[in-house]
Structure 1
Amino acid sequence: MKNTVAEFIKMKGEGRRIAELTCYDYTTAKLVERAGVNAILVGDSLGMTMLGYSDTLPVTLDDMIRYSAAVARACSETMVIMDMPFMSYQTSVYDAVANAGRMMKEGRGQAVKLEGGAAVTEQICAITDAGIPVQAHIGMTPQSVNVFGGFKVQGKGEAAARRLLEDALAVQEAGAFSVVLECVPPKLAALISKKLAIPTIGIGAGAGCDGQVLVYQDMLGMNTDFTPKFVKKYAAVGETMTAAFRAYVEDVQSGAFPAPEHSFAKSDCSDEYLAALDAEF
Structure 2
Amino acid sequence: MSATARKTAPLPDDIRAMKGGTPIVSLTAYTTPMAQMMDAQCDFVLVGDSVGMVLHGLPSTLGVTMEMMVLHGLAVARGLTSAMMVIDMPFGSYEEGPAQAFRNAAHLMRETGAGAVKLEGGMAMGETIAFLVARGIPVMAHVGLTPQSVNTLGGYTVQGRGEAGAALLADAQAVSEAGAFAVVLEKVPQGLADEITGAVPIPTIGIGASPGCDGQILVVDDMLGLFTAFKAKFVKRYAEFGVTGEAAIAAYAEDVRTGRFPGSEHVFADQAP
The answer, yes or no, to whether TM exceeds 0.5 is yes
* Larger-gyration structure (1/2): 1
| Cα distance in 1 for residues equivalent to 2:256 and 2:10 | 45
CA-to-aligned-CA distance 1:66-102 (integer Å, 9 cap, x gap): 0111001110111111010001000121110000000
- Matched ranges for 1:125-136 at <5 A: 125-136=130-141
Task: Please state how far the C-alpha of 1:266 moved relative to its aligned partner.
Answer: 5.2
Structure with more helix by fraction: 1
Residue identity opposite 1:6 in structure 2: D
| Cα distance in 2 for residues equivalent to 1:224 and 1:57 | 24
Question: How many matched pairs?
Answer: 265
1:211 aligns with 2:231: no
- Matched ranges for 1:130-279 at <5 A: 130-158=135-163, 160-265=164-269, 267=271
- Matched ranges for 1:9-20 at <5 A: 9-13=16-20, 15-20=21-26
Residue identity opposite 2:22 in structure 1: R
Residue identity opposite 2:26 in structure 1: E
Q: Please list every run of 5 or more consecutive structure 1 residues that lacks an aligned counterpart in the other structure.
A: 269-281
| Cα distance in 2 for residues equivalent to 1:236 and 1:227 | 11
Task: Please state how far the C-alpha of 1:215 moved relative to its aligned partner.
Answer: 0.6
| Cα distance in 2 for residues equivalent to 1:266 and 1:94 | 65
1:114 aligns with 2:119: yes
| Cα distance in 2 for residues equivalent to 1:193 and 1:246 | 47
1:24 aligns with 2:27: no
Q: Residue 116 of structure 2 contacts residue 137 of structure 2 at CA under 8 Å; is this kept in 1?
A: yes
CA-to-aligned-CA distance 1:97-133 (integer Å, 9 cap, x gap): 0000000011221111000001011111111122121
Match among 43, 47, 68 for residue 38 of structure 1 = 43
1:4 aligns with 2:11: yes
| Cα distance in 2 for residues equivalent to 1:185 and 1:260 | 58
| Cα distance in 2 for residues equivalent to 1:215 and 1:47 | 12
Residue identity opposite 2:156 in structure 1: F
| Cα distance in 1 for residues equivalent to 2:86 and 2:60 | 20
- Matched ranges for 1:62-141 at <5 A: 62-141=67-146
Residue identity opposite 1:25 in structure 2: T
Q: Residue 187 of structure 1 contacts residue 208 of structure 1 at CA under 8 Å; is this kept in 2?
A: no
Task: Please state how far the C-alpha of 1:196 moved relative to its aligned partner.
Answer: 1.2
| Cα distance in 2 for residues equivalent to 1:133 and 1:214 | 21
Tell me the TM-score normalized by structure 1: 0.91
| Cα distance in 1 for residues equivalent to 2:267 and 2:134 | 58
Q: Residue 222 of structure 1 contacts residue 236 of structure 1 at CA under 8 Å; is this kept in 2?
A: yes
Residue identity opposite 1:74 in structure 2: G
Is the deviation greater in 122-131 or in 258-267?
A: 258-267
Give SS of 1:11's match: coil
| Cα distance in 2 for residues equivalent to 1:262 and 1:177 | 53
Overall identity of the aligned pairs, in %: 50
Root mean square deviation, CA, Å: 1.3
| Cα distance in 2 for residues equivalent to 1:172 and 1:72 | 27
